[in-house]
């Protein structure tokens, strides 16, 4: 009996433990929000009549969040919060003043409270007319804070107006200024003073972030990991989150993720409601444990969006599937609202799981529930060929569930294998997922030979140098996929073609034709888009810059790029050069034609191994990917073409060959040479390399060629073909 009691107690203990763990965390951020509603103030709706900024802060330090606003005439107001059963309700406003000062200029104004000037209580910090920041020290609290009329003044970037925040960005214990602007630039002003006397020197670019217009920074610990992140309101009505993956003293921001609508999916966008200039701030206003979003904007209206946690999304998805146990695919075709909700729920859970906002123990339970849904509804979520006439959205719906599960954890073989078993991946689909971490989405249309050849080619590409999670074939996914696609961290799309269609990937002056398979070389080209220009910017930043330096070199002496080559052409200098040399007549109306004709004439017709140098300068994202067409068709032939052109006085092509070879070599003293024929038959062999002390390739030794190279700067200055 004692053993039985112990076992029963153990079961009860773990049962209770699971219940505790399963409770959704409270007071957390979210990526998803309900539709925007005008913010009520008593029985009225808040509208200040002019450009309005919004902040959620405890103005009177009574423990309840208040709403602070700045308007387009330099005035500040506080709407005091009052707790109720429904959460926080805001009361009619009171003016915020500093001594007798009731107005800060006459344009767009922002406000923050922070103890920046040596006080125990928060000081009043105002961004306003003439790019001024005014700090009014708090004198004391008497029901409401009393601020000194005398202020500490600083000047910041042009067109800042009310777009700013304060935070200790570099972890030195002092509040810094982070400003946005109408022009979209975000600038950091580190505090070089003391806790009693702030001082801000010259501003510096804030992680090179610049949006088109109206950047509104908010600095908060969005994912609650103890490090400050950036939330950016953007002109077009969207709100971006940049998470900090660096250290407290050395912040490093990720690429942005956009907040989402919870009800309909897609990016949250307020532009149709508040005009330009989204001004986000966050607090749990309805007391449900999930933060809510408030934003003002250009037209003076203020909107509230209730935050939605992942538990709500999961419950709604379960209810949706239970309500549609058999005919969901048909209903998604005819019911646009249902379709938006279904995809929106998956997208919102994907965003939440990817954001770092869901604690690990709770994440495991959410993923387990999602896996159970896949098992319970195999007719919706297992790999199969769908009838695109009756159920055009099911290939994308199933694929989106696979992607949510795939991205829920860091990539691992265990996670890949688990998903493959659960969703019924077989053959080449299974091999691509398990061996390479790639989900191939094609409505099960590709032949077994195609998936086998694809897997072999991808496996022969060094996995560390490319970053692709999904491969789609839109031509096989039908019209439904055009209306409602999928979202993944990284992905490419390829042509809907059979194997066996030939293509010559080389120009007429190549030593011989290089015939390959269109379907397979399209795959190589698209994968190459996610090499140097994506993951390569971190792996080999010097080669990313070199790509642009080579474009500059290939375009001749009269075309001038910026000092940082990746910034592209310096149009002012280039136009002046063309005018001086008599190439251009100086009329704006003739520039584009002159520019194109110049770069498509001799000697520039052979300035790139594959196509027009004009095209690649205008579309630099294609410059590296197109090298893959030749390299994966016939690497040896690409090398020979570079040598032949060098000997004929066209020196760019060999440098372009070296760019892709060096990148694929991963700094090693060998690299793979490829030859891929019609039908995708692939031959691969290792080639020996030697390098100089700077890591540049000085020798290439293949079975057909021995090539020695010397450099001037980053481009080849001498080339010698040695006897084999």
Rg value, the chain, Cα: 30
pLDDT tens profile 347-367: 999 999 988 888 888 899 999
pLDDT at 93: 92
């692709």: which residue's tokens?
A: 468
| Residue 636 · residue 673 · CB < 8 Å | yes
pLDDT tens profile 587-608: 999 999 999 999 999 889 999 9
Could you give the maximum distance between any two Cα atoms of the chain, in Å?
Answer: 102
- Domain ranges in the chain are 37-308, 311-492, 534-722
Provide the CATH topology of domain 37-308: Tachylectin-2; Chain A (2.115.10)
pTM here is 0.85
Query: Rounded to whole angstroms, how far apart are CA atoms 267 and 261?
Result: 6
Which residue stretches of the chain have pLDDT < 70? 1-27, 723-724
| DSSP letter for each residue of 414-483 | HHHHHHHHHHT--HHHHHHHHHH--EEESTT-S-HHHHHHHHHHHHHS-GGG---SEEE-HHHHHHHHHH
pLDDT at 37: 95
Instruction: Copy the structure tokens of residue 539.
Output: 């792996």
Helix 541-554 with 621-631: angle, nearest 10 deg: 90
pLDDT at 235: 84
| Helix intervals (H) in 648-691 | 652-665
């029901």: which residue's tokens?
A: 143
The shares of helix, strand and coil residues in the chain, as percent rounded to the nearest 5, are 35, 25, 40
Categorise residue 485: left if φ over 0, alpha if ψ from -120 to 50, beta otherwise: beta
pLDDT at 361: 87
pLDDT at 452: 97
Nearest of 222, 242, 303, 308 to residue 270 by alpha carbon:
303
Nearest of 597, 650, 617 to residue 549 by alpha carbon:
617
């Amino acid at each position: 009996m004692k053993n039985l009691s112990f076992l029963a107690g153990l079961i009860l203990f773990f049962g209770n433990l699971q219940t505790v763990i399963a409770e959704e965390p409270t007071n957390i951020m979210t990526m998803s929000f309900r539709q925007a509603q005008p913010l009520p103030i008593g029985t009225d709706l808040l509208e200040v009549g002019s450009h309005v900024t919004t902040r959620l802060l405890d103005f009177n330090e009574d423990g309840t969040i208040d709403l602070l606003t700045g308007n387009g005439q330099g005035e500040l107001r506080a709407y005091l919060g009052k707790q109720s059963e429904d959460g926080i309700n805001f009361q009619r406003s009171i003016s915020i003043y500093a001594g007798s000062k009731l107005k800060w200029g006459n344009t767009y104004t922002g406000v923050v409270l922070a103890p920046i000037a040596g006080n125990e209580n928060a000081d009043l910090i105002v961004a306003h007319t003439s790019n001024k920041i005014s700090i009014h020290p708090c004198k004391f609290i008497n029901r409401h804070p009393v601020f000194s009329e005398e202020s500490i003044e600083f000047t910041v970037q042009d067109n800042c107006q009310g777009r700013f925040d304060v935070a200790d960005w570099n972890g030195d214990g002092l509040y810094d200024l982070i400003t946005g602007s109408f022009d979209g630039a975000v600038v950091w002003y580190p505090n070089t003073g003391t806790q009693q006397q702030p001082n801000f020197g010259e501003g510096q670019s804030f992680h090179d972030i610049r949006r088109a217009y109206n950047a509104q920074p908010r600095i908060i610990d969005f994912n609650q990991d103890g490090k400050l992140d950036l939330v950016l309101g953007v002109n077009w009505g969207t709100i971006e989150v940049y998470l900090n993956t660096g250290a407290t003293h050395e912040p490093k921001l990720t690429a942005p993720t956009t907040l989402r609508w919870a009800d309909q999916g897609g990016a949250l966008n307020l532009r149709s409601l508040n005009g330009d200039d989204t001004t986000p701030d966050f607090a749990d206003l309805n007391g449900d444990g999930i933060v809510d979003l408030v934003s003002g904007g250009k037209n003076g209206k203020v909107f509230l969006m209730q935050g939605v946690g992942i538990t709500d999304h999961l419950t709604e998805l379960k209810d949706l599937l239970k309500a549609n146990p058999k005919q969901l695919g048909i209903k998604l075709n005819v019911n646009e609202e249902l379709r938006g909700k279904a995809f929106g729920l998956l997208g919102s859970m994907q965003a939440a799981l990817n954001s770092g906002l869901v604690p690990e123990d709770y994440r495991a339970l959410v993923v387990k529930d999602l896996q159970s849904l896949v098992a319970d509804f195999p007719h919706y979520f297992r790999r199969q060929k769908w009838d695109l006439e009756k159920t055009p959205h099911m290939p994308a719906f199933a694929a989106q569930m696979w992607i949510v599960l795939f991205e829920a954890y860091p990539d691992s073989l265990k996670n890949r294998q688990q998903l493959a078993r659960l969703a019924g991946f077989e053959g080449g689909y299974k091999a691509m997922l398990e061996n390479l971490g790639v989900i191939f989405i094609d409505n099960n249309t590709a032949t077994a030979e195609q998936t086998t050849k694809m897997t072999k080619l991808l496996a022969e590409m060094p996995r560390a140098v490319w970053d692709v999670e999904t491969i789609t074939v839109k031509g096989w996914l039908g019209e439904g996929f055009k209306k409602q696609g999928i979202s993944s961290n990284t992905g490419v799309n390829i042509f809907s073609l059979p194997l066996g269609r030939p293509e010559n990937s080389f120009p007429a002056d190549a030593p011989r034709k290089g015939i390959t398979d269109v379907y397979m070389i399209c795959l190589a080209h698209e994968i190459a888009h996610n090499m140097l220009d994506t993951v390569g910017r971190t792996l080999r930043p010097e080669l990313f810059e070199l790509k642009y330096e080579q474009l500059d070199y290939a375009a001749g002496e009269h075309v001038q790029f910026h000092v940082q080559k990746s910034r592209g052409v310096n149009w002012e200098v280039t136009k002046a050069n063309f005018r001086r040399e008599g190439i251009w007549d100086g009329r704006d109306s003739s520039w584009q034609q002159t520019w194109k004709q110049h770069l498509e004439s001799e000697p520039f017709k052979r300035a790139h191994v594959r196509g027009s140098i004009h095209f690649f300068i205008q579309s630099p994202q294609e410059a590296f990917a197109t090298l893959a067409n030749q390299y994966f068709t016939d690497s040896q032939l690409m090398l020979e073409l570079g040598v032949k052109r060098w000997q004929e006085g066209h020196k760019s092509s060999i440098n372009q060959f070296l760019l892709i070879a060096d990148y694929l070599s991963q700094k090693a003293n060998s690299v793979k040479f490829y030859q891929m024929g019609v039908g995708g038959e692939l031959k691969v062999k290792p080639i020996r390399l030697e390098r100089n002390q700077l890591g540049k390739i000085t020798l290439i030794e293949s079975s057909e060629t021995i090539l020695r190279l010397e450099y001037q700067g980053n481009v080849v200055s001498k080339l010698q073909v040695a006897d084999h």
